[in-house]
Amino acid sequence: MSKSQTLVTRNDRQRLGTMLERAYAVAFDPRDQVQRFELELDHAQAIEEEGIPPDVVTMHSIVEVIDLESDESETYTLVYPEEADIACNRISILAPLGQAIFGHSVGEVVTAMTPTGARWIKIAALCFQPERDSQKSSGTEALRSNGRGRTANPDGRLERHGIVF
């Protein structure tokens, strides 16, 4: 399956670049995973936050994906590695699924290269995108995402009951 051009905000590109430098500094394993992501990031089209289309998965987006083989649907928040917690459906940008969906649009089918093999994933819905939804709410209104009320902070992170995630 062919992938369209990955889109990334300039802020995300800068922060992800710094994250990758740290990953190399601590000899992150598996190194090839970091190198693949670095290559993808190098070839991504960087644009200003206000120019990012409202259906593109960015950092801290809440995205519903469908595994096309099993037809199972899951909803994840795409986060930096230090924020990842699969029990809370927060998936790291360095995870195969996180790398596959990052910078792609609702409706696209992407390939996630997992340890058990390739998985074809459809990006079904973007429940929250910080660039889109923070502009509308300026970080103070409750969001409706899968029936759960959440508040978007100005930095794009979500807060529920005083816990930022």
Q: Is the pLDDT of residue 54 over 90?
A: yes
Confidence bin at 60 (pLDDT 50/70/90): very high
Among 140, 157, 141, which Cα is nearest to 62's? Answer: 157
pLDDT, position 155? 45
Q: Is residue 25 part of a domain?
A: yes
Q: Is the pLDDT of residue 157 over 60?
A: no
CATH of the domain at 60: 3.10.50.30
Q: How many domains does the chain have?
A: 1
Q: Is residue 17 part of a domain?
A: yes
The predicted-structure confidence for 96-114, as pLDDT tens digits, reads as follows 999 999 999 999 999 998 8
pLDDT, position 103? 92
Range of the domain at 70: 7-127
The burial of 137, by beta-carbon neighbours within 10 Å (0-12 exposed, 13-18 middle, 19 or more buried), is given as middle
Q: In what order do the strands lie in the sheet with 109-114?
A: 90-92, 72-79, 62-67, 117-128, 109-114
Q: Is residue 84 part of a domain?
A: yes
Q: Is residue 104 part of a domain?
A: yes
Flag the least confident range among 33-37, 75-79, 82-86, 101-105: 33-37
pLDDT, position 32? 66
Q: Is residue 162 part of a domain?
A: no
Among 146, 118, 116, 150, which Cα is nearest to 133's? Answer: 150
Q: Is residue 157 part of a domain?
A: no
Flag the least confident range among 41-45, 59-63, 113-117, 144-148: 144-148
Q: Is residue 136 part of a domain?
A: no
Q: Is residue 89 part of a domain?
A: yes
